[in-house]
Amino acid sequence: MQPAEKKQTALDSLKNAILTLDLAPGSDLDEAGLCAQYDLSRTPMREVLRQLAGEGYVTLRQNRGAQVSEMSHRSLRAFFIAAPMIYGAILQLAATHRTEPQIADLRTAQEAFRAALTSGTTAARALANNRFHEITGEMADNPFLAPSFNRLLLDHARISMTFYDPRDSAEQRNVDLACRQHDQIIAAITARDTTKAVLLADAHWRLSRDRISQFVMPGGLDLPLGTPPQEARA
Amino acid sequence: MQPAEKKQTALDSLKNAILTLDLAPGSDLDEAGLCAQYDLSRTPMREVLRQLAGEGYVTLRQNRGAQVSEMSHRSLRAFFIAAPMIYGAILQLAATHRTEPQIADLRTAQEAFRAALTSGTTAARALANNRFHEITGEMADNPFLAPSFNRLLLDHARISMTFYDPRDSAEQRNVDLACRQHDQIIAAITARDTTKAVLLADAHWRLSRDRISQFVMPGGLDLPLGTPPQEARA
DNA sequence: TGTATACGAAGTGTATACAATGTGAATGCA
DNA sequence: TGCATTCACATTGTATACACTTCGTATACA
């Protein structure tokens, strides 16, 4: 395997590991360990880490190594604010600028997503879903919106991984609905129907948002309130 | 000077040179030359270039060195589509999340901008204006919108540098108006007036957009049409 | 016993030598 | 003369040795 390929492999592999929470937010990355794992020397591995930093996957600290970028309460709030606007813009532009080969790519990604729904792991689903939306970003073909869109996709995948519970049957229905929305999105984009694309972006976002909200603010358990521990009182 | 400082110097210097068109879009960067210029060896200089690539200043091509990112007709169109939306969102969030020290920074940046208007070069104006808007981006405090916003600011500065004509007195009036709008933006942000912030973002954007449009589509010269050269005919 | 300082190990940043790739000019052949 | 091939040079990519910073620990002192 060529060195350049090994670099690409390391990049893709690390991205996937971060997207699927295989590498936890905030966890430290051992430079030497990664070098051994991907059979690269430190120089190219450090370049990979710089690239990941540029795309928001990791943060680099002076003299203190790389760590997987955090997902905090604050960033979740920022995510909720930014996502609906950017998602709407991307799908609208995708419907305008999509090319035929891109539509083929999108259909392929959707088939992979549907396959992952029935037989894949939670991580495989998240990656397939992420790939679907990445392609819509490529279709939009706007270098000024792309960086924020991709940053949103990263944390969207991670948030979904955090909250997804395969035992919940309501979850199963939601995922099936999301899959059908993907089909509708493909149809709208193919037809260059920008109005419909924006509406679908909104519906798809709300579905995802509500799923997340339910886990952040679950239904009450109807139990008596506890009392705060001594130290926490005023 | 410490190596880390030299890296920062190189990064800042290259950013400024690209923003002010001192380094022309599409021009090749000579790795060895930059190493000599900033007294760095190739390893840290390559990391600087990777960082610049991550922020959209340059593009890296396999085995073919770095080149300053292009500004094409197509990217101008994408810019016009993305800018008003992102700028509005950023100023709205800035009005919500700004802190007192950030307001002080913004006032300082505005003073520098005003000073550059009277005594500075065109490049100094562009950099001061860029800094002002960068601070509004910091105030907005949204890691999902920041990358696109900063990408927009980069090309906004470069487009302004392209089209600015200091001999045009209408330009002078426009710039003075832009400066007054900055004062109003500071006031709205300080007062946490999100509604006004959004309106000002729109007004500020339209002023800039119209300036650019006038240079892209100048008033006709009322002369007869030429004929295409032989080679160009069907 | 608590704190401060010094030492050492681990890990990060940089310099440089070497390998691989791309480019362009020169040469040979049609 | 035109085109293809080859070789040399320039430039980029990688490996590795070395320097520096950080952090943990041990020891000395209060």
Rounded to whole angstroms, the distance from the CA of residue B200 to the C1' of nucleotide D14 is 51
DSSP A64: S
pTM: 0.92
- Return the pLDDT at B171: 85
- The predicted model gives A18-34 an average pLDDT of 96
**Are B153 and B134 a contacting pair, CB within 8 Å?**
yes
Is the pLDDT at B218 greater than 60? The verdict is yes
Q: Which nucleotides of C are covered by protein (CB under 7 A)?
A: 11-17, 21-23
Using pLDDT thresholds of 50, 70 and 90, give the confidence band for residue B214.
confident
What's the whole-number mean pLDDT along residues A6-19? 96
pLDDT digits (tens, 9 = 90+) for A119-135: 889 999 999 999 999 99
Distance from CA of A77 to the nearest CA of B (A): 9
A179 in B contact zone (CB under 8 Å): no
The answer to whether B3 contacts chain A (CB < 8 Å) is: no
pLDDT band at A213 (very low <50, low <70, confident <90, very high): confident
User: Which amino acid is present at A114?
Assistant: R
Q: By CA distance, what is B53's nearest residue in A?
A: A54
B91, B200 in Cβ contact below 8 A?
A: yes
Using a pLDDT cut of 70, give the percent of chain A over it.
92
What pLDDT was estimated at residue B113?
98
CA distance B78 to B56: 15
Query: What pLDDT band is residue B215 in, cutting at 50, 70 and 90?
Result: confident
Q: pLDDT band for position B230 (50/70/90)?
A: low
Q: Which fold would CATH assign to domain B3-68?
A: Arc Repressor Mutant, subunit A (1.10.10)
Bridge partners (DSSP) of residue B67 are B28, B59
Measured distance CA(B142)–CA(A79) in Å, rounded: 8
What end-to-end distance do the CA atoms of chain A give, in Å?
63
Residue B225 has pLDDT above 80, yes or no: no
- Cα(A112)–Cα(A205) distance, rounded to whole angstroms? 21
Closest Cα to residue B151, out of A68, A175, A147, A59?
A147
pLDDT digits (tens, 9 = 90+) for A61-80: 999 999 999 999 889 999 99
Grade residue A4 by pLDDT with cuts at 50, 70 and 90: confident
Chain B residues lying within 8 Å of A142, measured CB to CB:
78, 81-82
Domains B3-68 and B73-216 share a fold: no
Q: Which of A53, A145, A146 sits opposite B54 (nearest CB)?
A: A53
Residues A166-197 pLDDT 10s: 788 888 899 999 999 999 999 999 999 999 99
A152 touches B: beta carbon within 8 Å: yes
Comparing B222 with B98, the larger pLDDT belongs to B98
The answer to whether residues B150 and B104 touch, using CB atoms and an 8 Å cutoff, is no
Average pLDDT over residues B61-67: 94
What count of other Cβ atoms lies within 10 Å of the Cβ of residue A70?
Answer: 13
pLDDT digits (tens, 9 = 90+) for A139-169: 999 999 999 999 999 999 999 999 887 788 8
Specify which residues B28 forms β-bridges with: B67
Quickly state the pLDDT bin for A232 (edges 50, 70, 90): very low
Q: Which residues in chain B are closer than 8 Å to A54, comparing Cβ atoms?
A: 50-51, 53-55
Residue B232 one-letter amino acid: A
Judged by DSSP in three states, A67 sits in strand
Q: pLDDT per residue over B118-163, tens digit each?
A: 988 999 999 999 999 999 999 999 999 999 999 999 999 999 999 8
Closest-approach nucleotide to residue B41, Cα vs C1': C15
For residue B159, what are the contacts with CB-CB under 8 A and spacing of at least 6? B71, B76, B79, B212
Q: Which residue of chain B comes nearest to A45, CA vs CA?
A: B47
* Nucleotides of D strand lying within 7 Å of any protein CB atom: 11-17, 21-23
Q: Name which of A33, A32, A19 is nearest A69 in CA terms.
A: A19
Distance from CA of B117 to the nearest CA of A (A): 28
Q: Residue B232: which pLDDT band, with cuts at 50, 70 and 90?
A: very low
Residue of chain A whose alpha carbon sits nearest to that of B141: A78
Distance of CA A18 to the CA centre of its chain: 10
C-beta of residue A7 within 8 angstroms of C-beta of residue A40: yes
Using a CB–CB cutoff of 8 Å, tell me whether A65 touches chain B.
no
Question: Sign of the C-alpha dihedral, residues B181, B182, B183, B184?
Answer: positive
Taking the CA of residue B155 and the nearest CA in chain A, the distance in Å comes to: 9
Query: For residue B58, which amino acid is it?
Result: V
pLDDT over 50 at A5, yes or no: yes
- In one letter, which amino acid is B32? A
Burial class (CB in 10 A: 0-12, 13-18, 19+), B92: buried
Distance, CA of B97 to chain centre: 23
Q: Does B137 touch chain A (CB under 8 A)?
A: no
Nearest to B54 among A54, A89, A146 (CB): A54
- Which ranges of chain B does DSSP label H, i.e. alpha helix? 3-19, 31-38, 42-54, 73-97, 100-119, 122-140, 146-163, 169-190, 194-216
CB count within 10 Å of CB B233 equals 7
Please write the tens of the pLDDT for every residue from A75-95: 999 999 999 999 999 999 999
The domain limits of chain A are 3-68, 73-214
The class level of CATH for A73-214 reads mainly alpha
Question: CATH assignment of B73-216, given 3.90.79.10, 1.20.120.530, 3.40.50.10110, 1.10.10.10?
Answer: 1.20.120.530
